[in-house]
Amino acid sequence: MYFPVSGVEVAPWFPPLVAFLVASFTTSSGISGGVLMLPFQMSVLGFVSPSVSSTNLIYNIIAIPGGLYRYIREGRMAWPLVWVIVIGTLPGFYAGAWIRINYLRSPGPFKAFVGLVLLYLGFRLLHETFAANHKPNAIEDKFRETAKAFKGEARYGLSAGLPTDAVVKKKSLTIRKIEYEFWGEKYSINTLTLVLISLAVGLMGGIYGIGGGAIIAPFLVSYLGLPVYTIAGAALAGTFLTSIAGVSFYSILATSPAGAQVAVAPDWTLGLLFGAGGFLGTYVGARLQRYLPEKLIRGTLGVLITFLGAQYLIQNLAKLF
């Protein structure tokens, strides 16, 4: 099947299959899979024009609701985090999209930038997972105790999973701080800090063509000390809303004089195919999260992202300058 907008020719069943596999793997950590779908489209499918960014955002819009449904149903959505992330991310996202169009049109520098972002994320995840001085937090300890209590049910890294009362409770949002409770533990973070982090993440996400969840999720876990079980849904929700804004931005830009000089309009057909597979994948990934230890989620994802980042950086670093 030929897709004229992107210039890609591929069997119609292949994009949904790839998207399903990627999303099933990444959604448990709050990442829709866009951070991996973009390099796949560029390297495997040869889709390297700026419109790959907007097409990637369509994947997010279609795919993410599957995972959100599971997180909302299972009570693991920290809504105050969602609203603050969106407020901070949107302005940065628009600025990043403008930079992408005006200064990162050719695929070489863009791939190098992608490599830098992925490499940083990968190192951060691996450090949090395997550092010698890493001390398990209260949630990790409780998960381990639950797994031991149901040792006979554990198989291949799975466990009895989170108990039914492990839900986000007592949520509050003020100008000064965000607070909530999860599995008997209380969490509080500074609102302004999250806004500033979200602003920076939006800038990178706008350039990269993702909603920002792949970047903000490690920040929430590593820097702010929030459990991955409570930030995954919030990161996905923020990615979903900013992706809608991003597609709107690129669609409007495509009708402007600047957009007429370079391909920025999304390939809707290809994006919808990726999104269809991603929808099922995010549902499965969110469903599986409650059975996976946090260390397994961070470690596996860290290895993969570090490998991808290193490959892109090695191949394209010289083109960045």
**Most confident of the ranges 133-142, 159-168, 219-228, 259-268:** 219-228
Per-residue pLDDT of 284-314, as tens digits, reads: 999 999 888 888 887 877 887 788 778 778 7
Of 233 and 134, the one with more pLDDT = 233
What does the buried/exposed string (b/e) look like for 259-279 if buried means 16 or more CB atoms within 10 Å of the residue's CB?
A: beeebbbbbbbbbbbbbbbbb
What is the pTM for the complete model shown? 0.84
- Between CA 130 and CA 116 the distance in angstroms is 21
For the chain, the distance separating the N- and C-terminal CA atoms, rounded to the nearest angstrom, is 37
Mean pLDDT score of the chain: 82
186: β partners: 181
Percentages (nearest 5) of helix, strand, coil residues in the chain: 70, 5, 25
Give 107's pLDDT tier (boundaries 50, 70, 90): low
Q: 3-class DSSP state for residue 62? A: helix
Per-residue pLDDT of 38-66, as tens digits, reads: 888 988 898 888 788 889 889 999 999 99
Of 64 and 320, the one with more pLDDT = 64
The confidence score (pLDDT) of residue 154 equals: 46
Give 156's pLDDT tier (boundaries 50, 70, 90): very low
Give the percent of the chain with pLDDT over 90: 30
Opening angle at CA 198, ends 308 and 31, nearest 5: 40
Q: Is the dihedral of CA 121, 123, 125, 127 positive or negative?
A: negative
Asked if pLDDT for residue 69 goes beyond 90, the answer is: yes
State the Cα torsion 146-149-152-155 to the nearest 10°. 20
Give 124's pLDDT tier (boundaries 50, 70, 90): confident
Per-residue pLDDT of 229-283, as tens digits, reads: 999 999 999 889 888 888 887 777 777 665 566 677 789 999 999 999 999 999 9
Of 154 and 142, the one with more pLDDT = 142
